[in-house]
Structure 1
């Protein structure tokens, strides 16, 4: 059975740049996105916007054995094994990015009370980048500060690919944020940004993926209990 994984690790600058420019391949690796960390809600012009030594890697594997072999036997895999990662079971997809369009719209429904991991991946239209930043930064802060997220971050590959990753205590909490349930103007930031995207799309391609966390490994910034 295929699985996905999401990895966070601090790497030497040379290795980080090498992986960005030439993402590795391996037997059983179906797709790999190598990105650099980006603090949600950070100022547009800030070293926190593009953290070149902080790698975020999202991957699809034929099976768990392929992931295990990569982490143990490949140089980049051994780098990733020194950080934190979560192994994921795919549940649902909205939208489409070409490399992941083979995933079904729905593989399985989540229990509303179970923990959920959400990953977004977008190929941004460069002329729309100012609009994307204007509408996206309030949503970044909304997700970052939500009481039901245990980890929320963004990552990018210059200059066109942007991703977000968030861990939620429950599927119910995540869908509540998406549809603007809650009190105050801040609760509507995500739904208003989506309405603006529907009016004039920011992206060439965009997808939101929902996963069930299977297991977490290692630690990130001193934490090893990120999955509820």
Structure 2
């Protein structure tokens, strides 16, 4: 059965630029997105907005053996020195061409179990000002949500953007997405999605939901990032 993974690693600048320009290939690797990490909610003009040496890598593998073998290869060793989580695919909304083979869903899930959400989009560059206007408040909403244990964004110029978040439960994630949380910021995500439906920011967009299986390594001094 296929497995997905999400990696965070600090790598040499030359390695980062090379992987951003040309993602690596390997036996059993079905698709890989290499992106530069961003801090959610950071100012648009900021060294934290796109951190070239802090890579975020999202990949699909034929099986865990293929992932383990890749982590022994030159680029894989850089990822192995960071942090990653292995993921079981659950559900998809929207479509990005490289991920269209994934089924809409794989079955029912427990709303109380932890969940990982990954979004991937190909931007319409003419819509970037609107995207930033509506998106940055949502970034802060997700980053500061009490039910996330890790939330971040990433990008690969000129068009690819992604988000990654770990939630204590799918119930908490969907409550945020549909504006059911208390407080003045509760509807930020819901209203941004309504604006996207009115006039899309993206050429392609998908939201993917996963069950976290296991995490490995550390990230910025943190371990045990998955909810227990």
Per the normalisation by structure 1, the TM-score is 0.99
The residue aligned with 1:163 is 162
1:83-162 superposed matches below 5 A: 83-162=82-161
Cα distance in 2 for partners of 1:182, 1:117 equals: 19
The residue aligned with 2:47 is 47
The residue aligned with 2:56 is 56
The residue aligned with 1:199 is 198
The residue aligned with 1:81 is 80
Shift of 1:86: 0.2
Cα distance in 2 for partners of 1:185, 1:194 equals: 17
Shift of 1:183: 1.8
Shift of 1:185: 2.5
Cα distance in 2 for partners of 1:76, 1:107 equals: 31
Q: Which structure 1 residue ranges, 4+ long, deviate > 6 Å from structure 2?
A: none
Shift of 1:184: 2.4
Cα distance in 2 for partners of 1:108, 1:43 equals: 39
The residue aligned with 2:31 is 31
Instruction: Tell me the number of residue pairs that the alignment of Structure 1 and Structure 2 aligns.
Output: 227
CA deviations on 1:170-221 (whole Å, 9 max, x unpaired) are: 0110000000012223000000000000000000000000000000000101
* SS of residue in 2 equivalent to 1:225: coil
Per the normalisation by structure 2, the TM-score is 0.99
Where does structure 1 lack aligned partners over 5 or more consecutive residues? none
The residue aligned with 2:67 is 67
The residue aligned with 2:218 is 219
Cα distance in 2 for partners of 1:84, 1:169 equals: 19
Q: Which moved more, 1:175-184 or 1:90-99?
A: 175-184
Cα distance in 1 for partners of 2:93, 2:184 equals: 25
Cα distance in 1 for partners of 2:5, 2:135 equals: 25
Where does structure 2 lack aligned partners over 5 or more consecutive residues? none
**Cα RMSD, aligned residues only:** 0.6
Cα distance in 1 for partners of 2:53, 2:43 equals: 19
